[in-house]
Amino acid sequence: MFSLTHLNTFGLKADASHFFALANEQQLPELLSLVQQYPHYFILGGGSNVVLSSHIEALIIHNQLKGIRLLQEEESFFLVEAAAGEVWHEFVRYCLEQGWNGLENLAYIPGTVGASPVQNIGAYGKEMKNYFHSLTAINVYTGEQKEFSLAECHFAYRDSVFKHEAKDYLILRVRFAFPKNWKPSLNYADLKNFGGLSEHSSAMDIFNAVVQIRQQKLPDPKVWGNAGSFFKNPIVSSANYQTLLQQFPALVAYPQENGEYKLAAGWLIDQCGWKGRALGAAGVHDRQALVLVNRGGAMAEDILTLAKAIQHDVQERYGVLIEPEPIFVK
């Protein structure tokens, strides 16, 4: 048995029947033959967006591939490649230190570079797809290596092809294009209200501000195990939004490019009175109702019981289904 308790930021007690540490691409033939031998596999990066059950009868592929390199410098952009096992936040910092600006709003997101395209990570007004160029992945059943372009990844809010048709691809390397005509992006409310940031701020100033904001709002997984936002912000039609707004004038929502509205799930949960509440070992963070926390010794079932109770209350009051963001692993 391989303990996964220290490999998931929720700190859920979990183990797996089989485990493979992928530290370099030369190990891929060995890995592919192992995948054939077991009924299931699961690719694990930093474990910051998963809910692990106590025993997982599968081959866990732990991505530890490292390396960052500048592939090309063009007149208008830098093309940079990072191996999938690089730590996201360290990669962001490294890029800024080289003058490759763009990812500063996405600072301090836990996890790996290889997982960043899976849900197209986003924060503070930016998404990974804004700087994505292409990636290389391998189909773990057929061994086929494929380059995915931006268009082929089908990026959307917390979504990509890697959650659907391409879910049997292990992402090996991701390439980013950083334009040289960089400008600060400060439209997100928390950044506007931060104070001291302006169009003259450097990318490193924004990076530091984002780190501070996140440290204030989000629980440190080392203290309170968590997986960040537990639910995605639900997207509703304009008609649905207008009806809700009449009934709940303080409703927090963001208009989308296609005319739909993204509702702030944290607000919905907060209004249902869940902020700071707990059910056994699972609780709702007292500063951000969208974040569920492990209060000590929680198992996947504790988190799921709490999540279902919250989902039920939000559905009953607002008629809106909020869907979990983390991936459940059995």
Distance CA 17, CA 52 (A): 13
- Which partner from the list ligand FAD, ligand EPU, none does 177 bind, CB cut-off 5 to 8 Å by kind? none
Phi-psi region of 92 (alpha: psi -120 to 50; beta: other; left: phi over 0): alpha
Residue 93 is among the residues annotated as catalytic for this protein: no
Interaction with ligand FAD in 15-44: which residues (CB under 6 A)?
42-44
Interaction with ligand EPU in 89-128: which residues (CB under 6 A)?
123-124
Distance CA 91, CA 102 (A): 12
Secondary structure, 3-state, 172-237: EEEEEEEECCCCCCCCCHHHHCCCCCCCCCCHHHHHHHHHHHHHHHCCCCCCCEEEEECECCCEEC
Secondary structure, 3-state, 256-321: CCCCCEEECHHHHHHHCCCCCCEECCEEECCCCCCEEEECCCCCHHHHHHHHHHHHHHHHHHHCCC
Catalytic pick among 104, 116, 127, 158: 158
Residue 325 is among the residues annotated as catalytic for this protein: yes
Cα Rg of the chain (Å, integer): 20
- Which partner from the list ligand FAD, ligand EPU, none does 232 bind, CB cut-off 5 to 8 Å by kind? ligand EPU
Amino acid at site 94 = Y
The pattern of x and - marking residues 189 through 208 that bind ligand EPU according to CB under 6 A reads: -x------------------
Contact region with ligand EPU (CB under 6 A), list: 28-36, 179-187, 227-235, 292-300: 227-235
The pattern of x and - marking residues 123 through 152 that bind ligand FAD according to CB under 6 A reads: x-----------------------------
- Which partner from the list ligand EPU, ligand FAD, none does 275 bind, CB cut-off 5 to 8 Å by kind? ligand EPU
* C-beta closer to ligand FAD: residue 251 or 327: 327
* C-beta closer to ligand EPU: residue 123 or 293: 123
Joined tokens for residue 143: 């061994």
* C-beta closer to ligand EPU: residue 85 or 266: 266
Contact region with ligand EPU (CB under 6 A), list: 14-22, 81-89, 159-167, 262-270: 262-270
Q: Which of 4, 14, 47, 265 binds ligand FAD (CB under 6 A)?
A: 47
Residue 202 is among the residues annotated as catalytic for this protein: no
* C-beta closer to ligand FAD: residue 110 or 184: 110
Q: Compute CA distances 236 → 66, 156, 157, 244, 307, whole Å.
A: 40, 15, 13, 10, 21
> Least distance in Å: CB of 214 to ligand EPU?
7
Count of CB atoms within 10 A of residue 87's CB? 17
- For the purposes of burial, counting CB atoms within 10 Å of the CB of 2, is it exposed (0-12), middle (13-18) or buried (19 or more)? middle
- Which partner from the list ligand EPU, ligand FAD, none does 87 bind, CB cut-off 5 to 8 Å by kind? none
283 and 293 Cβ atoms separated by less than 8 Å: yes
Residues near ligand FAD (CB under 6 A) are 9, 42-50, 63, 84, 109-112, 114-116, 118-119, 121-123, 162, 170-171, 218, 221, 226-228, 327
User: Active-site residue numbers?
Assistant: 158, 229, 325
